[in-house]
Structures are given as C-alpha cells and as structure tokens.
Amino acid sequence: MSNIPLTVTELTARIKQMLEQGFASIEVEGEVSRLTKPSSGHIYFTIKDSHAAISAVVWRSTTARLKTQPQEGQTFVFTGRLSLYEPRGSYQLVVTSIKTAGAGQLAEAFEQRKALFASKGWFDSHRKKNIPQLPQRIGIVTSATAAALEDVKKVLRMRPAWLHIILSPAIVQGESAPTSIAQAIHRLHQSESKPDVILLVRGGGSIEDLWCFNDEKVVQAIVDADIPIISGIGHEIDTTLADLAADVRAATPSNAAEIVCPAKDTLKPQLSRLYQRLYQALNSLKDAKYWALERANHQLKQHIRLSMQKHHLQIRKLKTRLQQFEPNHRLRQDIHRFYTLQQRLFAAAQHITSQKRQILNPIIYQLHLSYEHQLQHKHQQWQQKHEQLLAMSPMKVLERGYTITTNAKGEVVSSVQNLAKDDTLHLHLHDGMATTQVSYIKGKTS
C-alpha cells in the first residue's frame, strides 16, 4: 500500500464531509460573546463556556425568523449544524434557532402562557367574583403537611368562632401537582358542605418549585370555579398565572387568611354598623308597608266608587230605554194626537151650516162617547202595564230581598261557575251596597 500524502485541500474536504455529516443537527448551550452585526444582515458571535469556545453565525435569511435574538453575555441554547470554512480551515456553528436556557426558558414559557391565557380572557377583571364579607365555610387547597396550612390556621384562630375550615389536600410541587390541585378544587365544589370561598396557598420556593401553578389545568380550574378563590402562593415577589386568574391575589398564605375574614377586633364595630343599618332598613320597610297599605286602601275605595257610578249609569240608561215602552207614555201620545184631531174637527165645524151641524151633532156625540170609552180603556191598559213594569223594575226586585252581585272587576255574577274561593263580591241592595268574600261554593246537582 503506497503512502501518498494528502494535499491540504483533500484533507480539508474529508474533514468537512465528516464534520458536516456527523453534526448535521446539534444543540449547544453557552454564553454569547464578541457579538457583531455587520451591514450584511448576518450575525456573528462566539459561544463559550468556562473551558472552550466556538464560532457561530446566523445567516441573514434566518435572522428574521428568530423568536429570540442573541444578547451579549446571555446564555442560550443554540440549534444548528457544523460547517467548515475551507480557505481558513476553521469550523463554525450555523445557527437556525435560539432559545433561552435554564430559568430563562421558564421565564420565556411563562410569558408565552401568560399571553395565551390572557387572549382567552382568563385574567379579565369583569369575570372575577366578589369575596363574601362574612364567610362561614372556608375551603383550603394545599398540602396537608405544608407549613402554609399551619400559617393559615394560625391566622384563622383569631377570626370569629363560627368559621368552618374544609381542607381539600393536594400535591403542590412536581409533575403530578397540576392534576392534583385541579381535582382538589373540583372536590370542594362537589362537597355537601360547599365552602363560601377557597384559599389556594403554598409556601415560598424557586420558580421550578412553583411552576405547577402556571400549568393550564390549574388556571382552567380557577377560571371554571363557581366559588371565589383567593390565591396566596409563595412570597410577595412571586407571581404565578394562578395568581392572575384568581379572584383576589394575596402576598402570602397568611395574608390570604387575613383577607378572607376580618379579625374579631375589627369585626365588632362593623357588626355594630350593620345592626344600625339593619334597624334603619326595618323601620323604612315598616313605613313603606304602611303607605303601601294606605295607597291600596285608597285605590280600593276609588275602584268601588267608580264601579257604583258605572252601575248607576247603566240603571239610568235602562230606565230611559224602558220609558219608551211605558203604557202611560204611549197613552199620552195617543191623547195628544186625539186632541189635535179634535181641534181640527172643531175648527172645520165652525164653517158648517147649522143643518149640517145638526147632522153632525149625533156623530160628534158618538165620537165623544167613543173617545171617553177609548180613554178609559187606554187608562186601564196603562194602569195594568204600569203595575207590571213596576213589578219588573230592578229596584222593586231589590226591595223584595234580592241583590245584584258583582265581582272585583265590576262584572255581574250570574253563576257559581264564575266564582272562586276568597273572591271579593259586592252586593248591591235597594238602599246601598255591601262587600263580602267567598268562603264556600256549592253548585246545583244535575
């Protein structure tokens, strides 16, 4: 086997092939240094750690697609491929994407989730529920062995004795925590002693320890809750997405317990003020009921008066119509016509000769007798019909002990089918009116 030396170009080509094929897609974590951005649009920098460094480049075509831009002195995770530049025999990482590393990754994920949940309206103030001023049952979601639970209990011991605490234990750290917290909130909603408010609490810790409170399952459970939720997670400087979704955010677990119910010392003057307001409200209610009864009484009297006027008007109309058919009325009309004819006859007789008057005298006498007979007959007929009409008059009927019964609407009641128990009825008598109420109804059996 001949030992022919390689040229520099051949050796470089082999190295380039092995390097680019073997590292076609890699991830490298390191700190950015010697960052330059020339007018060409490319980005050049060095990726280093405590022991080594490697050149890197982001081509102009890739720069516009980067979600995260490299920053001098910051640590990132770079994804790309190795490439060898043959003229200088040097290699570099051609970067295709950049993401923050470690805590920076969590911070980036936090902002992304925050923007997503905000777009769904989960943090909107209008959907947040009011916290009851004096709750009786307080639900607590936390670990049963957590120091936060003892802190909450210590504060609540200084609150009124009527408070009833309902613990719904949950895992508050680790991969299983989001599901456990969501289930604990759901259990309180299904509890027979459903709490008036829920405290979601956990003690302090790192961003990784509190990360479960940024999970979508936990935030969704808070948003869907029918019961108001106060969050007290970590310390005052710690903010989770659960805090943003909660109806009220407390700085610490102890602060959450302080918010949920006033202390006894501050509650006494509040109760005194509430008692005074209640007493005033009761007095106002009494006055309002008195004037309401007065108005109702006045309206009832006015309704009865208008109803009576209406019925009296109807009776007068009936009388007017009946007068047209009264025998005396028709008799007066006949008499009037008779006298008119008589006057005309007498006037004509003035021009008749005495001979003709003698002829007419018997006729006139017979006519007079006929008139007297007819007048007497008509008078008797009128007397009979007048007595019949008087017997049929509503007032005569009422004088015999009958009544006209109307309901509260002023309608005449003619059948028990139109009545119901406790109905108010008005009894119209010949000399006035009385009001009564139905207590028993019995119809005729067929």
Q: Is residue 363 part of a domain?
A: no
Q: Which domain holds residue 428?
A: 404-437
Angle, alpha carbons 186-188-210 (nearest 5°): 65
**Whether residue 127 sits in one domain with residue 68:** no
Q: Is residue 61 part of a domain?
A: yes
Cα 202 from chain centroid? 34
pLDDT recorded at residue 1: 47
Claim to verify: residue 132 and residue 241 sit in the same structural domain:
yes
DSSP 130: P
Task: Based on the fold, state whether residues 179 and 95 are members of the same structural domain.
Answer: no
Number of domains in the chain: 3
| Same domain, residue pair 128 and 251 | yes
Final residue of a domain: which of 262, 287, 320? 262
CA atoms of 271 and 384, how far apart (whole Å): 86
Say yes or no: 63 and 153 in one domain: no
pLDDT of residue 104: 65
Q: Is 172 helix (H, G, I), strand (E, B) or coil?
A: coil
Say which CATH number the domain at 148 has: 3.40.50.261
Token duo for residue 242: 């659960």
Q: Which of 199, 234, 262 is the last residue of a domain?
A: 262
Residues 247 and 136 in one domain: yes
Q: Cα-flanking dihedrals φ and ψ of residue 233, to 5°? A: -115, 120
Whether 45 is in a domain gets the answer yes
Q: Are residues 200 and 254 in the same domain?
A: yes
pLDDT of residue 247: 96
The amino acid at 302: Q
Q: Is 350 part of a structural domain of the chain?
A: no
* pLDDT average per 10 residues of sequence, the chain (446 residues): 80 89 91 94 94 94 89 90 90 91 75 94 94 92 94 90 92 94 96 94 87 96 96 91 96 93 74 73 73 77 77 75 67 77 74 66 80 84 79 74 85 85 87 89 75
pTM of the predicted model, to two decimals? 0.45
The residue type of 305 is R
Helical H segments across 230-263, by residue range: 241-245, 253-260
Residue 160 maps to a domain: yes
* pLDDT recorded at residue 257: 93
Within a domain: 383: no
d(CA 424, CA 202): 67
For every residue of 410-443, DSSP letters joined together read: SPBP--GGG--TT-EEEEEETTEEEEEE-----P
CATH of the domain at 79: 2.40.50.140
Residues contacting residue 328 through CB under 8 Å, at least 6 positions apart = 382, 386
Same domain for 140 and 54 = no
| Distance in angstroms (rounded) separating the CA atoms of residues 104 and 76 | 8
Residues 207 and 75 in one domain: no
Same domain, 173 and 253: yes
| 161 lies in some domain | yes
Which 3-state string (H, E, C) describes 262-307? Answer: CCHHHHHHHHHHHHHHHHHHHHHHHHHHHHHHHHHHHHHHHHHHHH
Given 56, 73, 101, the domain boundary residue is 101
- In this structure, the answer to whether residues 86 and 187 fall within a common structural domain is no
3-state helix vs strand vs coil in the chain, percent to 5: 50, 20, 30
Q: Give a yes or no: residue 222 inside a domain.
A: yes
Query: Could you say which DSSP state residue 6 is in?
Result: P
Residues 251 and 132 in one domain: yes
